[in-house]
């Protein structure tokens, strides 16, 4: 949020008050109740927010800020002792990405189930979520982005949250994904 505010010309320490309100559902409820003036929402809540008269100020995903959104975290020790288990997990993860990117109806039905939305009544919100998240944000090859890790480290360091090494390579190991690329596993998923 801080980087996004800076990108649109605001000072996150002076121009706004940032509160920890909770997860997406709690933030959306606080917005609807008028307890907060704005919040971050992602699809499918964007459609609901629009229908209630709220306006999008900016789309964080389209600001071009390298920032780690999600990742798979495991210790180096675990990898060294359970390498094949981690590779098998990554293969399943990559197959799931393929499935949601190539089978829209399956992906929409899974989203509806887990978000507790009606597949027919909430179709617009689910379509928006599919386009916004699955089509535009989820990538076929989820390689760690070192620039994104560096941006997160810089921000944490600037906020005095951590004093740690600023070298993103100390926190990321792309070796297993690279191995799956070299063997042709990832490209074979989309043939």
* Residue length of the chain: 191
Query: What local confidence, expressed as pLDDT, does residue 159 receive?
Result: 74
**Encoding tokens for residue 7?**
């990108």
Query: What local confidence, expressed as pLDDT, does residue 25 receive?
Result: 85
- Model confidence, pTM: 0.79
Same domain, 55 and 80: no
Query: What local confidence, expressed as pLDDT, does residue 83 receive?
Result: 96
- Asked if the structure places residue 95 within a domain, the reply is yes
- Asked if the structure places residue 98 within a domain, the reply is yes
Same domain, 47 and 24: yes
Query: What local confidence, expressed as pLDDT, does residue 64 receive?
Result: 85
| Among the listed residues 151, 12, 7, 128, the one whose alpha carbon sits nearest the alpha carbon of residue 68 | 151
Same domain, 104 and 168: yes
Distance, CA of 125 to CA of 108 (rounded, Å)? 10
Distance, CA of 43 to CA of 28 (rounded, Å)? 12
Query: What local confidence, expressed as pLDDT, does residue 47 receive?
Result: 83
**Helix intervals (H) in the chain:** 2-7, 24-33, 45-51, 76-81, 83-102, 104-115, 123-129, 146-158, 175-182, 185-188
DSSP 143: -
The tally of domains found in the chain comes to: 2
- Asked if the structure places residue 68 within a domain, the reply is no
**Encoding tokens for residue 126?**
């689910």
Query: What local confidence, expressed as pLDDT, does residue 110 receive?
Result: 94
List Cβ neighbours of 111 (8 Å cut-off, separation of 6 or more): 44, 117, 126, 129, 130
Domain boundary among 62, 89, 111: 62
Same domain, 110 and 56: no
Domain that holds residue 35: 2-62
Same domain, 181 and 89: yes
- Asked if the structure places residue 51 within a domain, the reply is yes
Domain boundary among 35, 62, 89: 62
Same domain, 180 and 117: yes
pLDDT tens digit at each of 191 positions of the chain: 888 999 999 998 899 999 999 988 899 899 999 999 999 888 888 888 888 999 988 888 888 888 777 788 899 999 999 999 999 999 999 999 999 999 999 999 999 998 888 999 999 989 999 998 899 889 999 988 898 888 888 888 877 766 767 888 888 888 999 999 999 999 999 98
- Asked if the structure places residue 58 within a domain, the reply is yes
- Asked if the structure places residue 67 within a domain, the reply is no
Same domain, 152 and 85: yes
């Amino acid at each position: 949020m801080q980087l996004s505010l800076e990108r649109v010309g605001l000072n996150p320490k002076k121009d706004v008050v940032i509160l920890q309100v909770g997860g997406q559902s709690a933030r959306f409820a606080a917005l609807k109740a008028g307890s907060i003036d704005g919040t971050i929402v992602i699809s499918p809540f964007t459609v609901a927010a629009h229908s209630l008269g709220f306006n999008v100020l900016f789309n964080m995903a389209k600001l071009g800020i390298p920032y780690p959104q999600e990742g798979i975290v495991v210790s180096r020790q675990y990898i060294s002792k359970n390498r094949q288990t981690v590779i098998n997990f990554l293969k399943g993860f990559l197959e799931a990405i393929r499935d949601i990117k190539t089978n829209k109806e399956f992906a929409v039905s899974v989203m509806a189930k887990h978000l507790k939305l009606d597949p027919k009544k909430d179709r617009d919100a689910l379509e928006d979520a599919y386009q916004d998240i699955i089509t535009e944000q989820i990538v076929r090859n989820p390689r760690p982005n070192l620039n994104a890790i560096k941006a997160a480290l810089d921000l944490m360091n600037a906020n005095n949250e951590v004093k740690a090494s600023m070298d993103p390579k100390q926190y990321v190991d792309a070796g297993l994904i690279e191995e799956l690329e070299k063997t042709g596993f990832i490209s074979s998923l989309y043939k």
